[in-house]
């Protein structure tokens, strides 16, 4: 197997790379207090929200971009980015029903395979759809309301449920947490808000689909999920963007508040535009995701990351309550010139807290794929346990895989286990497959899929299909 053959076998076409021609209301590039004020005014936000943003902005100005990640890119000019863009049709009036949504927009989602009509939607999935800086629509709201479940865009939540938002926003990811979180807190434009009342098992999967369309526009979404005592919700997130030569910025914050005995399962299939073969264009994805688990609560993160030029992302769990459980299942695939530095943090504070980390990194082309994980056992974490398994798969001989595990234990009674492997899709494996009649694409796809099996089985049914489709595109082959 020559390198050329391998390159061909894993070469991808980015199917979501089209642009929607739509009139947009876009802020001129640049960021200062006036921009934050203008953004807040556009959204019709209350004074406390504006004040909260301004404080974040002032904090951000004093912070420096983190440089510790194993990624390399030219400095981002934050003054060259536009911090707000909305399709004009949504600007004037948010559509009350899908009949009022601009047909161009509907066509965009049809093309992406995201049916927005409730009738055509995947059975049992309610969806919030975010286009550039604004939410287009949220489906099944009424049905969810019958159970007391609140599911809407963040902008609406700030207007309609200000007490809830004010009580929880920034409690898991404080504004000064890190450079990108501070930036997001200042300029977040939309995102999803979920509240599950006490004891309620959310009757359907909730889902948000993020799409960046405008050029030179950043997307800064903010998602807040509050699961009240004894409740349960499964939440899915998908993302795509057009192919553009310039890099685009995406800096999101996701906060999960999981109260006593509640459970949140958060799944992501991230397919932002990864840039071309030479590394031109693509999304810079700097994301802070964190959940806070109270007593007996459970947080499960599952992510399938195939997109973005740069990925900087560590969905984490703070296991504050006794007996709380954190899980992190991840597949990160990088190809061409993509760079990913991703992993998790499991902070064990409570007694008998447990966490599991299963990370599968796949590197192809000239890409670089790093796992970075922290397991911290606090002094109170008597009987806490962590199990980490971290596997890397290399395809070809020009890519790189790195593992940076950090373990800090302040409790001698806590148990931390770590296993790591690195393997390669070997020429001999491909030869065996081809000799048995499989073409290269099928062979690579089958081997990669086998490697990821432990993570894929954690995805909800509806999303497993999407993840399968995505790997198919990314690896140009079928997934069995």
Partner 1 sequence: MLKIDNLHARVDDKEILKGLTLTVNAGEVHAIMGPNGSGKSTLGHALAGRPGYEVTAGSVSFLGRDLLDMDTEERAHLGVFLAFQYPVEIPGVSNMEFLKAAVDATRESRGLEALDTVSFMKLAREASKAVNLDASFLKRGVNEGFSGGEKKRNELLQMMLLEPQLCIMDETDSGLDIDALQVVAGGVNAMRSAERSFVLITHYQRLLNFIEPDFVHVLSGGRIVRSGDKSLALELEEKGYGWIADSAAPGEVA
CB of 342 to partner 1, least distance (A): 21
Residues that bind partner 1 (CB under 8 A): 1-2, 5, 423, 426-429, 431-439, 442, 446-447, 449-453, 480
CB of 444 to partner 1, least distance (A): 11
* Closer by beta carbon to partner 1, 258 or else 331: 331
Q: Which is nearer to partner 1, 397 or 428 (CB)?
A: 428
Shortest approach of partner 1 to residue 430 CB, angstroms?
8
CB of 8 to partner 1, least distance (A): 12
Q: Which residue, 153 or 449, has its beta carbon nearer to partner 1?
A: 449
Query: Cβ of residue 192: shortest distance to partner 1, in angstroms?
Result: 34
Instruction: Kindly state the smallest distance separating residue 431's Cβ from partner 1, in Å.
Output: 6
C-beta of 77 vs 419, nearer to partner 1: 419
What's the closest the beta carbon of residue 399 comes to partner 1, in angstroms?
19
**Shorter beta-carbon distance to partner 1: residue 48 or 431:** 431
Q: Report the residue number, 141 or 398, with the smaller CB distance to partner 1.
A: 398
Rounded to a whole number of angstroms, the minimum distance from the CB of residue 458 to partner 1 is: 15
Nearer to partner 1, 2 or 97 (CB): 2
Distance from C-alpha of 39 to C-alpha of 254, rounded to nearest angstrom: 20
Pick between residue 199 and residue 450 the one whose CB is nearest to partner 1. 450
């Amino acid at each position: 197997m020559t390198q050329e053959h391998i390159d061909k076998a894993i070469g991808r076409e980015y199917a979501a790379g089209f642009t929607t021609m739509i009139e947009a209301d876009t802020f001129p590039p640049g960021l200062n207090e006036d921009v934050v004020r203008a953004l807040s005014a556009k959204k019709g936000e209350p004074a406390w929200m504006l004040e909260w943003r301004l404080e974040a902005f002032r904090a951000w100005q004093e912070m420096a971009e983190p440089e510790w990640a194993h990624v390399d890119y030219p400095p981002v000019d934050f003054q060259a980015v536009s911090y707000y863009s909305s399709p004009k049709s949504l600007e004037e009036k948010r559509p009350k029903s899908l009949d009022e949504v601009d047909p161009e927009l509907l066509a965009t989602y049809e093309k992406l395979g995201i049916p927005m009509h409730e009738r055509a939607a995947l059975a049992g999935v309610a969806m919030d759809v975010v286009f550039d800086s604004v939410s287009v629509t949220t489906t099944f709201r009424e049905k969810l309301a019958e159970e007391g479940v609140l599911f809407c865009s963040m902008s609406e939540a700030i207007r309609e449920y200000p007490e809830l938002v004010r009580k929880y926003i920034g409690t898991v990811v404080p504004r000064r947490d890190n450079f990108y979180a501070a930036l997001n807190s200042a300029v977040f434009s939309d995102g999803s808000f979920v509240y599950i009342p006490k004891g309620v098992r959310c009757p359907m999967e909730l889902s948000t689909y993020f799409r960046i369309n405008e050029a030179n526009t950043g997307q800064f979404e903010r998602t807040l999920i509050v699961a009240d005592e004894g409740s349960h919700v499964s939440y899915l997130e998908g993302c795509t963007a057009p192919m553009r030569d310039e890099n685009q910025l995406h800096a999101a914050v996701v906060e999960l508040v999981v109260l006593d005995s509640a459970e949140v399962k958060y799944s992501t299939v991230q397919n932002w535009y990864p840039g071309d073969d030479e590394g031109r264009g693509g999304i810079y994805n700097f994301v802070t995701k964190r959940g806070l688990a109270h007593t007996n609560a459970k947080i499960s993160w599952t992510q399938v990351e195939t997109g973005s030029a740069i990925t900087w992302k560590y969905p984490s769990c703070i296991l504050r309550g006794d007996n709380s459980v954190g899980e992190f299942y991840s597949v990160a695939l990088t190809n061409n010139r993509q760079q990913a530095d991703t992993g998790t943090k499991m902070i064990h504070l409570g007694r008998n807290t447990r966490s599991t980390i299963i990370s599968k990194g796949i590197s192809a082309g000239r890409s670089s794929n790093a796992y970075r994980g922290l397991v911290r056992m606090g002094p109170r974490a008597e009987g806490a346990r962590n199990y980490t398994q971290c596997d890397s798969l290399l395809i070809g001989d020009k890519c790189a895989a790195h593992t940076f595990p950090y373990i800090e234990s302040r409790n001698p009674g806590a148990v931390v286990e770590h296993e790591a492997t690195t393997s390669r899709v070997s020429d001999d494996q491909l030869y065996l497959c081809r000799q048995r009649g499989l073409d290269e694409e099928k062979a690579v796809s089958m081997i990669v899929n086998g490697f990821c099996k432990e993570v894929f089985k954690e995805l909800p049914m509806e999303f497993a299909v999407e993840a399968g489709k995505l790997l198919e595109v990314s690896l140009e082959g079928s997934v069995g």
